[in-house]
A and B are shown apart, each in its own frame.
Chain A
């Protein structure tokens, strides 16, 4: 067994920042990651990092834009922390040598982004995430932080007290991909989940193949509620054939969207009369699909994004990466012709419920980054707000896990944060029982931390051996059916019938998964085994997304319902929570916090 003060699971932006922060507080930190850190999906982020750095801008404006963008489903204490800490964090990155794009005076450049009242998106070409990831990994190397790369964490070592709020996390269990060993990692201070997105739930996504929601699925099964899972962001500009992302930076720099008739539809059809192409992402994604559905698309599938008028020089200076992506993955030269684009799954606003210190309701278990829900993005994330989230909440989780006093958290978590009045709550779905055998991370209410980890290792070893030895279905068939059902029914446009159909398919997938088997008998680098474990995580995540979407009968942010075309603030200014209750998903709500440090955010009609 390995032992460290703080174990960080995942080594993308949030994980790296958490590790550096914990190390700076004097903790012995280790990162356990299924990819080598530089392979993490943070590297694919393109657009930039929002931070109020300049005169005329301030954190309060950033917080206001974020709250409005969230469609009033973000929690003010978390949003304000994001806006307050971002400038210092971004300047810190600059001090670590990150190669930001520069103004003539040598200061870092900022550009406009959708939904922002000030051009506060700091960037490094159209490859900001790549530079962010590498700059932070360099700092990890500099500090000599231990990295267990190509170790796949597949189970948390958590005590099984009846009440999740009494449970403690003492470590994790990982599969050493190269050797095939199942290894225990004990964390004396805390485990920080930073496992990123879960876009592989869908079959058209900008997300990496590794983004399978491992962190949220493990935390969910260990008893931490997942929050606002119905809010999935579909990015308006992805390449139709692959889902590769074309940065919002293209529209930020002046790129224009045209429909099949050559009309600038954002204005022509009144989707966003002021902001046009720079309305927030949910608005643009729906506009594009509406054009396609009304017969004004191109090849009944996509619209055009044109940046030719920006001129070759400017494109090369600020968006060069886009030229390569469009050429390599779609065969289009965007200097000479418009790019075909359509919406694709991009980001998950929901995730592991945490407070603004990254803490979950299980003692010693933290989450940060896309896998977490603090919640800063509410029902719709603004472009450029994912990267500050990584560094701000990664750093806060790292510090807190290392023992720094960050004060009392204002965002309540866990089952005790339920809305008081639930008597008349009508959950319009009937959450079915799930297969539960051996899912809770530990049992016997063990108290010795090392025993909890050992016990979890034994349980995981048994599960893996079982999958390796038996004959049965290959996970790939199940995964494909799941992804297709989600894309067909739980996409940008949703209705009750479709959501129910998706739920049926998900439950069938869960049944079929009981017979899943790993065909590759090898212990060495068994990717068949990893993908099989991931597929189980995808099933759990897909189910929470669909349940949440079915329950929320209103239209808010990224969540659009055919039968419910209005935002219902009277009923729905609350977070959807789903908890694993002995194998049956327990759906409940907790109120949104609109009260900030100096002001109360008043829900307004969101127009751009």
Chain B
């Protein structure tokens, strides 16, 4: 049985409203604004809490195809003692280790680099490990990533995501290596800077899950795979011929042109990768490259 969870519309609406300011502000300003907002929220949340006996209510999606009583999807409520600095992942681990050891979710590094705990938290794709409980409205609703098949509880099938990632030839290709075994290729600092954000992708799948286009078109490469293509297409070490080849891949029918710049991918990316910008830039490159052949 496949459980597609209904996509909430809040995330998209918010995302569109933020588009303009997002594009205008610099990276640093964005960081500072987010930081102040967060500090405000934490202060408010902490003011409302007495330190010790406060509990936070989690409403967690449950489903297991082979266990009687869990094969009909439902929400379970867990009450977890709140501690300062607690993340959503901390709360889930507490619930699992103290109340129900069958509660199932992926997680590993708990420092926002393994990308395995992307979840749908209060109607938005986020990493459980880097989302502070005090930054959320309570009770906290935790669901699996939308637009993917649920395997069990909060675990979704990632195969389609991996397939899309691998379809863009996600590996460095050049015929022009320097001679001499210990001689490295040269790369301009500016070029490294250009691809830097694109190389930060941790394959969490949040962007793909938030994308309306990907939800309606299963063949659409999606923001993560296109960003991976960007990472190589813009790397000067690969050379012009290879860039041409890469632009052909992303220009296919279900490639960059499907993107409708809704910015939801950029909005949810836990590594702040400007995914929408990268997609637009590839569109421009594709047009420029086609013009040459007219």
Contact = CB atoms under 8 A, between A and B. Distances in A.
Contacts of B130: 328-329
A210 B158 contact: no
Contacts of A88: 181-182
Contact of A130 (B64, B116, B202, B232): B202
Interface in A236-251: 241-242, 244-245
A95 B184 contact: yes
Interface residues of A, number: 67
Interface in B58-112: 64-67, 70, 85, 96-98, 100-102, 104-112
Given A39-B114, A333-B35, A106 B187 contact: yes
A53 B108 CA distance: 34
B120 interface: no
A102 B192 contact: yes
B199 interface: yes
A41 B110 CA distance: 10
Nearest to B154: A525
Interface in B149-188: 151-153, 155, 158, 162, 166, 169-172, 174, 177, 181-188
Contacts of A445: none
A524 B155 CA distance: 10
Contact of A138 (B85, B152, B171, B184): B171
Contact of A476 (B42, B97, B108, B192): B97
B115 interface: yes
A2 interface: no
A95 B177 contact: yes
B79 to A, nearest CB: 18
A141 interface: yes
A91 B108 contact: no
Interface extent on B, as a size class?
Answer: 35 or more
Interface string A85-119: 00110010011110111111111100000000000
B195 interface: yes
B215 interface: no
A520 interface: yes
Interface string A330-363: 1101000000000000000000000000000000
A40 B153 CA distance: 23
Interface in B253-270: none
A142 B110 CA distance: 29
With most chain A CB atoms within 10 A of its CB, the pick from B153, B158, B172 is B172
Contact of A209 (B66, B108, B185, B238): B108
Contacts of B237: 97
A101 B184 CA distance: 13
A449 B151 CA distance: 35
A178 interface: yes
Contact of B114 (A35, A53, A244, A328): A35
Contacts of A40: 114
A138 B186 CA distance: 20
A99 B151 contact: no
Given A331-B42, A524-B66, A242 B170 contact: no
5 contacts: A94-B185, A99-B196, A100-B192, A241-B85, A523-B66
The 3 closest A-B pairs by CB, nearest first: A97-B172, A106-B186, A520-B102
Interface of B: 31, 35, 39, 42, 64-67, 70, 85, 96-98, 100-102, 104-116, 130, 151-153, 155, 158, 162, 166, 169-172, 174, 177, 181-189, 192, 195-196, 199-200, 202-203, 232, 235, 237-238
Given A91-B184, A108-B184, A524-B152, 16 more contacts: A36-B162, A38-B114, A41-B109, A88-B182, A91-B183, A97-B174, A99-B235, A138-B172, A178-B151, A209-B110, A323-B31, A327-B35, A329-B130, A476-B96, A480-B97, A522-B67
